[in-house]
Amino acid sequence: MQYDNSNRGAIFKNDDKQQDNHPDYKGSLNVNGVDLWVSGWLKTSEKTGKKFLSLSVKPKDSAPVKKASKASSGFDDMNDDVPFN
């Protein structure tokens, strides 16, 4: 019998952390059949001083998405109100 990992996940201490903005914990999670990467950062609340774990998730199968830049025709600064007789 195979273990069902649906709607479950785990995170582990990131022993490879090299910069402050890298997550303190990393792991994976499955939600409704979708596999996700999970990243976690240990933080301290400014209001209460209590420690908490801030989480971020992203799909495992997503390729980096580049924003499409608006292509310039080279005529963007031209006036369309040119009278022709």
pLDDT digits (tens, 9 = 90+) for 57-75: 999 987 665 555 555 555 5
What integer pLDDT is reported at residue 7 of this predicted model? 95
SS3 10: strand
Place of tokens 């303190």: 24
- Assess contact for 42 and 21: CB atoms under 8 A: no
What integer pLDDT is reported at residue 3 of this predicted model? 79
pTM greater than the 0.85 cutoff: no
The answer on pLDDT for 6 being more than 70 is yes
From first CA to last CA, the distance across the chain in angstroms is 83
pLDDT over 70 percentage in the chain? 73
Q: Name the strands in the sheet holding 9-13, side by side, starting at the edge strand that comes first in the sequence.
A: 9-13, 25-31, 34-44, 51-59
Sign, Cα dihedral of 70, 75, 77, 80: negative
